[in-house]
Structure 1
């Protein structure tokens, strides 16, 4: 398994955690609306960045 594929899967996990946190307003403890939104957006942005870097690294390895 290519390490970039694993990094992409981890990035998707972060995106899913962000969606879960934003939707259910829960991350280890119950969060209020503002904190849940901020944490959710933060996780989604970081996960998207990880997926982007994984795709970029995978394409560079294929060349």
Structure 2
């Protein structure tokens, strides 16, 4: 398996954690609305960034 594919899968995992945190307001412990929204958006943006970098590296043929 190409490591860029693995990085993309990890990025997708961060994206899913962000959606879960935002929707259920839970990350390790119960969060209030503001913290859940901030953590959720942070995880989603970081996951999208990781997926973007993985796709970019995969298209450029980097190993």
The bucket for the TM-score relative to the shorter chain is over 0.9
Instruction: List per-residue Cα deviations over 1:6-54 (Å, max 9, x = no partner).
Output: 0000000000000000000000000000000000000000000000000
Q: Distance in 1 between the 2:50 and 2:2 partners? A: 15
Equivalent runs, 1:1-63 vs 2, <5 Å: 1-61=1-61
Q: Distance in 2 between the 1:36 and 1:58 partners? A: 32
Give every structure 1 segment of 4 or more consecutive aligned residues whose post-TM-superposition deviation is greater than 4 Å: none
Structure 2 gaps of 5+ residues are: none
Structure 1 gaps of 5+ residues are: none
